Structure 1
């Protein structure tokens, strides 16, 4: 009797603190699975960092597809995303690791004047002190809240498989096992 391979999830979220590497892992998963990927920040941020009025509708349209990968962010759509997803990968990295990653990314993006979403570029370094929602401050202040949000989503959505990864080496081993071994 031929063995039947379990079907891979086709609706996948990647959760974690800002700077943990959600977008990077989400892109890799999408490429490995041949699924569409949408960076959710690009749907949220309009020009001049203004929230896009079509954000919820755009997320709804993207997740109406039979398969997709995106990050699990933004409270107004998190419940819908968790309800629609089959798998939530949680990058539950330590605060020191996340802070190193978000600071180095922020500095690199600012020095290179990298365009992020819809023409936006990270603000000057001094905004760390003046903007309470500066990405580095946001990462610090919200780091400890992610686990409770993931646990709540899992409790509310029994169909949702949650994979919790505590270190990039663990994430790499998981990715290799799940996405590379079955090619």
Structure 2
């Protein structure tokens, strides 16, 4: 397995609310890889308008020598990213961990009207829609987890180094050990 310093094209994958953005930013800051927030690229403006140039934008970025994305990819760019990545860091957390995180984040965003992608804010009314992050995390948890596992085992992506982290503690330990010492990355069951 390669060392963290040799990771050049990284996807941080996991369920909605796992902490992909936080971990991706931390990795990017420690190894000087340009960080790209997938939701910020995908959401182009008010009313959650989708970026019609998402594929072109992600294709341009991912053709570069180094990058880190905080997503396993929107459907229209998923295969592109997986085929160009050299490392997958999979936050494979339990559903209770995911739900605590996504609920805490969405409550704060709603109460404090924090602007996110495209200038949008989560509202109380959004909580009653099927694509609200809390509902999405709950309903898509098993499907997302199975899809990531399938992709990690897919021969098309066999050259990928997969780092599977089962708990937030494992992620913190992996990040501190691998970036502090430059030690080889390791798979965590």
Partner of 1:31: 29
The alignment's TM-score, normalised by the length of structure 1, stands at 0.91
Partner Cα distance (2:126, 2:80) in 1: 33
Q: Does the aligned pair in 2 maintain the 1:79–1:153 contact within 8 Å? A: no
Q: Distance in 1 between matches of 2:86 and 2:56?
A: 21
1:35 touches 1:69 (CA, 8 Å); kept in 2? yes
Partner of 1:59: 58
CA positional deviation for 1:176: 1.3
Indicate how the Cα distance of structure 1 residues 110 and 8 shifts in structure 2: closer, same or farther if over 3 A, else same: same
Which structure 2 residue ranges, 5 or more long, are not aligned? 184-189
In the other structure, the counterpart of 2:41 is 43
- The gaps in structure 1 that reach 5 residues or longer are none
1:32-68 deviations in whole A, cap 9, x for unaligned? 1101001000110121201110111111111111000
Q: Equivalents in 1 of 2:115, 2:4: separation in Å?
A: 40
Superposition CA RMSD, Å: 1.6
1:151 to 149, 152, 157: 149
Query: Which residue matches 1:105?
Result: 105
Separation in 2 of the partners of 1:42 and 1:7?
A: 26
Aligned to 2:80: 80
The whole-number CA distance in structure 2 between the counterparts of 1:159 and 1:77 is 19
Preserved CA contact (<8 Å) 2:15 2:141: yes
Once the two structures are superposed, residues 97-143 of structure 1 have per-residue CA deviations (whole angstroms, 9 ceiling, x without a partner) of: 11010000001111111110121111x223322x1111110000111
> How many residues are aligned here?
177
Q: Distance in 2 between matches of 1:147 and 1:114?
A: 28
**TM norm structure 2:** 0.88
Q: Secondary structure in 1 aligned to 2:65?
A: coil
* Structure 1 position 7, deviation (Å): 5.5
Which ranges of 4 or more aligned residues in structure 1 deviate by more than 4 Å? Answer: none
CA contact (8 A) 2:7 2:86 kept: yes
